[in-house]
Amino acid sequence: MTSWALALFLRDLRLSVRVGGSALVGVLFFLAVVTVIPFGVGPDLNLLSRIGPAILWIGALLATLLGLDRLFQADRDDGTLDLMLMAGRPLELVVLIKCLAHWVATGLPLVVAAPLLAVFLNLEPLAMGAVTLTLLVGTPALTLIGAIGAALTVSLRRGGLLLAVLVVPLAIPVLIFGVSAADAAIHDPVPFLTPFLILCALSLIAAVIGPVASAAALRFASD
Amino acid sequence: MAFWDYANPTRFLRLVQVVLPWLTGLCVLAFAAGFYMSFFVAPEDYQQGQTVRIMYIHVPAAWLSMMCYSIMAVSSLGTLVWKHPLADVSAKAAAPIGAAFTFMSLVTGSLWGKPMWGTYWVWDARLTSVLVLLIMYLGLMTLWRTMDDPIKAGKAAAILTLVGALNLPIIKFSVDWWNTLHQPASVMRMDGPTIHPDILWPLLVMAIAFTLLFFVLHLMAMRNEILRRRVRTLRLRAATSAHPRSATATAQPAE
Amino acid sequence: MFEDLSFSLNGGSALVVTGANGIGKSSLLRTLAGLVPPSHGSIRLEGGAADTPPEEQAHYFGHQDAVKPALSVEENLQFWQNFTAPAPAPGFSVRSVTPLEALDTLGIGHTAQLPAAFLSAGQKRRLSLCRLLVTSRPVWLMDEPTSALDRRSETQLLELMNAHLAAGGLIVTATHSDLALADVLQLHLQAADAAALPVEDALP
């Protein structure tokens, strides 16, 4: 049972690394977002360090969303998706594994880049660690929720923007608890663990809802 | 005309083979002299102490980051205007080297800034411009990676490089303006009133060493790129060549 | 799309679906492949694994090659071998071959290590065809299997199809060209205004 899952995981990982280095583009976009914000709010380091966790989270959200539109579309365009539906493997698991590979190729680099980008925003080491940890736990939820949007827009030529519009409202809880957990770690009186555990719960819920909903959408999309 | 003689990749490779050992040797010598001078000859700064020695890496790297972009811009002109066959190879080979020098100047700059500003990063006009330059380098590298056909990718990247070259002064100007708007003269200027010869000489030698290093790396990267393209052509040809053994084979059911 | 269409097919025989463009040959094949749900009616594969739906015992060879240009030819094929579940059936005995054997069979063995992006259209088509060999499934659903193939590859394809039939497999194919298959039934689709809707039954 595991060999087909591993084959799918490795194939998706290979594809995302080889096709235009999507991991690099995501991190680059993340960097660009973080660079642009100070031009808007001004270079005041105190202000930046206060809103730093939020900037990093929003940057990660946008970078995740922009990378998602090809998650299923590339497979649909060349007929792979039809064959996957016929392969005799549970589609929900297929979606989950594809999301996992996608997260490792594009989400994990964002998490790794976060501490570096936090330097630009003058975050304290503690805040840096907190933001990175919340991103590590929270970005899988963004990918899994985004997969629903990717599955719904799979048949559209230019689904990328619509995907973002569909998914952003669904991603709001993740953003709320991600940022508040990171903030709680910085400002003392608020407990860190409460929002952090809720964030973990959100990721786990997304790991169920995302694949089930995406698989249903993909079955309909095969018309 | 010598410039056009080396448009032929084979001739260019032969030239590289002759020039590269000498250039490498010179580069090693220059670095040996440069490091010796900057660590043992140059004096400590009365304000900054030993940290001033970071300057001998930082300033040449920053200088190279800009020179590299100029070389890419000239190469891009070569691609689009003169259609020199090696121009896009030169531009493509220069981009990662430029990005590396830019990154080095950013890292050394923030290490240097830590004791002075108390933080690794400030949104100083100069640092910010260099960061924007780094993003442009990385964007160009991604553009090259994303396109399969090296000729098409070379043209697209050449256009972006030239637009970037025209835009860089505008970016620099607006970043300066943005910075003074928000933060009137709160950041220390790095360049002191006058540079003492004891500091200037090591700096110049290091600058020469870095420039030589750039040319060594650039020639090596160009050679690799030419070879990489030859491998690609060979493999394309290998795919089209008919296979002699295939004519009689059929699938046999195993009964 | 169609009404009152029913046919049955025995092991070792092929059904060739013909008809004008747009009549629904591809839709019929996609329905059989489980990609389009039939509005009513059912598709059954007797003698196969009971709890496996028919489409999971079939190979679909459509217009799209499902070849990833960024992967090497062998990686492409190896993935499909690992990913697709084989479907053993009692009256059908063909072992799955290894990717390299399949590539050699179709005369593109020399490209195994090259990125699939370097292949020509016909070579990609043949690579896609190799997919049917590396995982053994009794039913082949083939939509215009000869398109983009040269004459020699077409002969090879026919040999493969005949070998598949000889081993007890089923083939349903939509085509415009004449295929010299061993045991053929014709299903001619016509527009609905024709009084008699085309129905053909299999020989025992």
3 state SS of A88: coil
What is the DSSP code (8-state) at residue C39? S
Q: Which residues of C touch B148 (CB under 8 A)?
A: 69, 117
Over the range C20-52, which residues count as b (16 or more CB within 10 Å of their CB) and which as e?
A: eeebbbbbbbbbbbbbbeeeeeeeebeebeeee
Position B52 scores a pLDDT of 76
The amino acid sitting at A210 is G
Distances (CA, A) of B239 to A19, B233, C115, C133: 20, 10, 9, 21
Which is the CATH superfamily of the domain at C14-189?
Answer: P-loop containing nucleotide triphosphate hydrolases (3.40.50.300)
For residues C203 and C8, give the distance between their C-alpha atoms in angstroms, rounded to a whole number: 9
Do C65 and A78 lie within an 8 Å CB cutoff? yes
Lowest pLDDT segment from A90-99, B26-35, B234-243: B234-243
Residue B190 resides in a domain: no
Distance CA B59, CA B65 (A): 10
Minimum-distance CB partner of B254 among C93, C105, C115: C93
Q: Say yes or no for a CB contact (<8 Å) between B238 and C114.
A: yes
Binding partners of C (≥3 Cβ pairs within 8 A): A, B
Residue type at position B183: Q
**Contact by Cβ (8 Å): A57, A135:** yes
Q: Is A116 on the interface with B (CB under 8 A)?
A: no
Q: Which chain B residue is nearest to residue A121, measuring alpha carbons?
A: B121
Long-range contacts of the stretch B51-57 (C-beta < 8 A, 24+):
B51/B112, B51/B115, B52/B199, B54/B108, B54/B111, B54/B112, B55/B112, B55/B199, B55/B203, B56/B202, B56/B203, B56/B206, B57/B104, B57/B108, B57/B206
Task: Mention every residue, 6+ apart, whose C-beta is less than 8 A from residue A49.
Answer: A121, A122, A123, A124, A127
> Cα A41 vs. chain centroid, distance in angstroms?
25
Cβ contact, residue pair A21, B135, below 8 Å? no
Higher pLDDT, C95 or B35: B35
Residue B118 has pLDDT above 70, yes or no: yes
Instruction: Give me the sign of the Cα torsion angle B164, B170, B176, B177.
Output: negative
Does A155 lie at the interface with B, CB-CB under 8 angstroms? Answer: no
Cα dihedral sign, C30-C35-C36-C39: positive
Amino acid at A64: T
* Average pLDDT of the segment spanning A33-41: 88
* Of B147 and A56, the one with more pLDDT: A56
Is A79 in contact with C52 (Cβ distance < 8 A)?
Answer: no
- Residue B102 pLDDT > 70: yes
pLDDT on residue A108: 92
Q: Which residues of C touch A88 (CB under 8 A)?
A: 52, 56, 84-85, 87
Query: How many folded domains does chain B comprise?
Result: 1
Is there a contact between A119 and B110 if contact means CB atoms under 8 Å apart? yes
Interface test with A, best of C82, C127, C132 (most A CBs within 10 A): C82
Residues of chain C with Cβ-Cβ distance to A85 below 8 Å are: 34-35, 55
Residue bearing the bigger pLDDT, A212 or C30: A212
Query: What pLDDT does residue B12 have?
Result: 83
Q: Supply the mean pLDDT for chain C.
A: 78
Residue pair A22/A67 in contact by the 8 Å Cβ criterion:
yes
pLDDT(A19) > 80? no
Has residue B86 been placed in a domain?
A: yes
> What's the confidence (pLDDT) of residue A23?
72
List residues bridging with C15 in a β-sheet.
Answer: C172, C185
- Residue B45 has phi, psi (to 5 degrees) of -85, 140
Mean pLDDT, rounded, for C148-156? 82
* pLDDT > 70 fraction of chain B, expressed in percent and rounded: 83
Q: Using an 8 Å Cβ cutoff, are B199 and B149 in contact?
A: no
Confidence of residue A21 (pLDDT cuts 50, 70, 90): low
Interface test with A, best of B123, B131, B146, B173 (most A CBs within 10 A): B123
Q: Domain span at residue B112?
A: 18-42+50-185+195-232
Predicted confidence (pLDDT) at residue A20 exceeds the cutoff of 80: no
Mean pLDDT over C147-175 rounds to 84
In this structure, is residue B253 part of a structural domain?
Answer: no
**What's at B77, amino acid-wise?**
L
Question: Which of B239, B247, B250 is the closest to C111 by Cβ?
Answer: B239
Which residue intervals of chain A are DSSP H helices? 2-18, 22-41, 45-67, 70-77, 80-86, 91-102, 108-120, 125-152, 160-186, 193-221
**Residue B225 forms part of a structural domain:** yes
Number of cross-chain residue pairs from A and C with Cβ atoms under 8 Å apart: 76
Instruction: Say yes or no for a CB contact (<8 Å) between A24 and B138.
Output: yes
pLDDT in tens, B166-183: 888 887 778 777 776 654
Task: Determine the average pLDDT of the residues in C169-187.
Answer: 78
- Give how far the C-alpha of residue C179 lies from the chain's centroid of Cα atoms, to the nearest Å: 14
pLDDT at B254: 40
Q: Which two three-digit tokens encode residue B173?
A: 């100007």
Q: CA B236, CA A163: separation in Å to the nearest integer?
A: 37
Question: Could you tell me which chains touch chain B, where touching means 3 or more CB pairs under 8 A?
Answer: A, C
CA distances from residue C198 to A53, B80, B252, C192, C203 in whole angstroms, order as listed: 67, 62, 35, 10, 16
pLDDT surpassing 80 at residue B191: no
Per-residue pLDDT tens digits for B58-92: 888 988 888 999 999 999 998 888 888 888 888 88
Q: Where are the domains of chain A?
A: 2-12+22-221
- Least Cα separation, residue B9 to chain A (angstroms): 27
Region C155-167: mean pLDDT is 85
What is the token pair recorded at A95?
A: 């979606």
In this prediction, residue B247 carries a pLDDT of 40
Mutation test of the interface with chain B: which of A34, A46, A120, A124, choosing the one with the most B Cβ atoms within 10 A? A120
> B195-204 pLDDT, tens per residue?
667 777 888 8
Q: Mean per-residue pLDDT for B218-229?
A: 90
Q: Are C159 and B238 in contact (CB < 8 Å)?
A: no
A81: tokens are 């998706």
Whole-Å CA distances, C199 to A43, A68, C106: 77, 46, 35
pLDDT band at B253 (very low <50, low <70, confident <90, very high): very low
Q: How far apart are CA A36 and CA A163, in angstroms?
A: 23
Alpha helices in C16-107 (DSSP H): 25-32, 73-83, 99-105
> CB contacts < 8 Å between A and B, how many?
49
CA–CA gap between residue B158 and residue B164 (Å, rounded): 10
Domain boundaries, chain C: 14-189
The predicted model gives A65-71 an average pLDDT of: 84
B191: exposed, middle or buried (Cβ count in 10 Å: 0-12, 13-18, 19+): exposed
What are B27's two structure tokens? 């580069």
Chains that touch A (3 or more CB pairs under 8 A): B, C
Q: Tell me what the mean pLDDT of segment A40-68 comes to.
A: 88
- The answer to whether position B204 is within a domain reads yes
Verify whether the Cβ–Cβ distance B135 to A28 is below 8 Å. yes
With a cut of 90, say whether residue A132 has pLDDT above it. Answer: yes
What mean pLDDT value characterizes chain B? 80
Asked whether residue B5 is domain-assigned, the answer is no
Instruction: Tell me the pLDDT band of A55, cut-offs 50, 70 and 90.
Output: very high
- Mean pLDDT score, A209-221: 90
Tell me the shortest Cα–Cα distance from C2 to chain B, in angstroms.
36
- Range scoring the smallest mean pLDDT among A176-180, B199-203, C161-165: B199-203
Quote the CA–CA distance of A10 and A101 in Å, as a whole number. 8
pLDDT, mean of residues B124-140: 87
Residue B138 reports pLDDT greater than 60: yes
